[in-house]
Structure 1
């Protein structure tokens, strides 16, 4: 015998809904909860619109398959909920509303999304072309390389700088074009230490050293990273810097160090000699009859004479000695660590003999000589200015003795 179930009293409801719920309660044996159909449809439409916008990038076919799968899943869940939670709702409604709403939105939006994707691809292509033009039109040499140090790409400026084509260098070792700095560059980049450095490379393809201003960094890639180096040739700048430095420390006519360079070298020699308890000599020299050459043959012959005399001075001194032009026809030598004063005498005699050798300039026989004054550290003085002063006084003593050389205080030889 069927068990009688109590029918709930819905005092506030009208008779029609009351009888329907009572009948359903008797049929199922429990109460049911009615859900308005419009709420189900509204919720389904919102879900389908969200899914349509989210899945439009997959295209109509893929999006439809994905949405159909989701709709079937919702249909299954709605059916299960209908059976277990006793909801008075038709589970087919969310399925149909989601699927058809999605297809309507897809049909409407897919062409727009397609145009957007095409526009994005076109923009990316233009950017890539622009980067390629920038890469190859850069005045700086640009090289990319793998973590193993193999060259990947190089631009036109790099081809011109290193004298090799990109095709030939592709896959070659970075050390093939940067033999002196490839290892340090690769080490810095592999440790993620971007930076900038000035470097000098001696390349066999170039007759002069290559001075570089190099900036390096890493770029992300599918394999992790690749190295990137931008190289600017600053050889001309370095050459001009060297010329400026040389002009500040060297005589433009003879190429010998000037007075400023001589004083700097003399101070350094003095400090070293004081620390090591060594000796050295200061020679001060000028030319005899130089004024007569200038007055009779002209200053251009006098200039040529100074150039030739400077060459002979350089040839006469020992390795390690220092010769400079102080100005006019006055020259000076720092003779480092002579073993005895006899070494200074030998050098002075060799210089006198060299300058007195026959000399012809532009068809003119030139007859000049030199007078030399010598001071010795620490025997005569222990300050650079005093050593120069004493050597100057000794030089004038030698000049009066006619083409001789003299140590400070005592004339040793006259010729």
Structure 2
């Protein structure tokens, strides 16, 4: 019955006498595994039963079990047909009632399939680790939101060491406004790239593109995230957007930006029932500067005028360059048209101050036309057109002055600051 049971189990079982190390019992699997039958292996020493090569590998373990210690180890086994297997060996001392050792039981399990699967996982993890270290993009592994591993690139991105990162929740490094987005992607398992931001060690936001993937790693299911620093991309996008809406010479808003902004300002003024003024500015004798000193001097003059115009108005107001030597200012939320007139006086005084260009004193003066919402127009186009008309009235009145569009009710109000 014992033989029947022993031959039925998947384990390899044997028993060796402690002094001679001769086999006194072996089930069929153990015997055949080593190239014997259950009968022919009996009386063979361990060395004879398993061969010289295997004996050289396990002799230290045998000496341990002979000394009364329980031993467990894993080793590779070459079968008689040349097949390579991986086995887990347990050597268990057999003691009598008086604690005298009589022999040792051998229990062997073939773990080749398990070992191959684990090796495949280890190899995959090693490849992933090498890939993570080789890439210039930040890589983070996390399990249930807790960081388990990071690469050097991520440490550099955050300005932190792995000790500062591993073991913490991934959301600890995400700005508050981005936490809902990142959390939703983590929980849903989405693998599409998305934009978010991370916090460096100083609390500064760094825009990143994140691609996440759920994968087996280190014996469990983990989330891998690759973070790409997109600061350069964002800066380029911002520059392109800025250039589309701003004048390249003066960096002031251009006509496209002006029209969009003025529409918004007028919509707000309608709701609040407030007034808005548009000041159309043209530089007197600017062509003379270009013709006599060259375009570089003209460009320098335009840049200086742009700075003076911005300094003369509030932050809430808009200063734009329409092209050439023409500018337009939008004054938001004015109490009366007289406010626009006072601003125009300051603008004329400021712009008329001499500018030193290439060692030469250069001066121009502005002619300014003013239209006021809602009296002079209901739309941006109307207000600009009427301010342009008023500017030509200022030109005809001797330049270096301002004029209101007639319907503003101040058609005769002006300031002539020509010396």
TM over 0.5: yes
Aligned-pair distance for 1:259?
A: 0.9
Q: Give the SS at the match of 1:251.
A: coil
| 1:114 counterpart residue number | 85
Aligned with residue 133 of structure 1, among 126, 130, 135: 130
The 10-residue stretch of structure 1 (379-388 or 180-189) with the greater mean CA deviation from structure 2: 180-189
Aligned-pair distance for 1:170?
A: 3.1
| 1:264 counterpart residue number | 260
1:53-202 maps to which residues of 2 (within 5 A)?
A: 55=10, 58=11, 60-61=12-13, 100=28, 102-108=29-35, 111=79, 112=83, 114=85, 116=112, 123-147=120-144, 150-172=146-168, 174=170, 177-180=173-176, 183-184=179-180, 187-188=183-184, 191-194=187-190, 196-201=193-198
| 2:40 counterpart residue number | none
| 1:289 counterpart residue number | 285
Q: Matched residues in 2 for 1:189 and 1:328: separation?
A: 50
The 10-residue stretch of structure 1 (198-207 or 298-307) with the greater mean CA deviation from structure 2: 198-207
Q: Give the SS at the match of 1:317.
A: coil
Aligned-pair distance for 1:103?
A: 4.6
1:198–1:212: 8 Å Cα contact kept in structure 2?
yes
1:5-404 maps to which residues of 2 (within 5 A)?
A: 55=10, 58=11, 60-61=12-13, 100=28, 102-108=29-35, 111=79, 112=83, 114=85, 116=112, 123-147=120-144, 150-172=146-168, 174=170, 177-180=173-176, 183-184=179-180, 187-188=183-184, 191-194=187-190, 196-201=193-198, 203=200, 205=202, 209-216=205-212, 226-401=222-397, 402-404=399-401
Q: Matched residues in 2 for 1:210 and 1:123: separation?
A: 37
2:348–2:365: 8 Å Cα contact kept in structure 1?
yes
State the Cα deviation string for residues 95-116 of structure 1 (Å, max 9, x = none). x9x954x455433598336155
Q: Matched residues in 1 for 2:283 and 2:385: separation?
A: 18
Q: Give the SS at the match of 1:248.
A: helix
Aligned length: 330
Q: Give the SS at the match of 2:335.
A: coil
Q: Matched residues in 2 for 1:221 and 1:123: separation?
A: 11
Aligned-pair distance for 1:199?
A: 1.9
Aligned-pair distance for 1:248?
A: 0.6
Aligned-pair distance for 1:404?
A: 0.4
Q: Matched residues in 1 for 2:206 and 2:357: separation?
A: 39
2:252–2:320: 8 Å Cα contact kept in structure 1?
yes
Unpaired segments ≥5 residues, structure 1: 1-43, 65-95
Q: Matched residues in 1 for 2:370 and 2:269: separation?
A: 17
Aligned pair in 2 of structure 1 residues 352, 392: CA closer, same or farther (>3 Å)?
same
State the Cα deviation string for residues 107-133 of structure 1 (Å, max 9, x = none). 359833615567666555433322221
Q: Matched residues in 2 for 1:278 and 1:160: separation?
A: 52
Q: Give the SS at the match of 1:114.
A: strand
Aligned pair in 2 of structure 1 residues 295, 201: CA closer, same or farther (>3 Å)?
farther
Structure with the higher helix share, 1 or 2: 1
Q: Matched residues in 1 for 2:123 and 2:164: separation?
A: 28
Q: Give the SS at the match of 2:174.
A: coil
| 2:38 counterpart residue number | none
2:367–2:402: 8 Å Cα contact kept in structure 1?
yes
Using structure 2 for the length normalisation, give the TM-score: 0.69
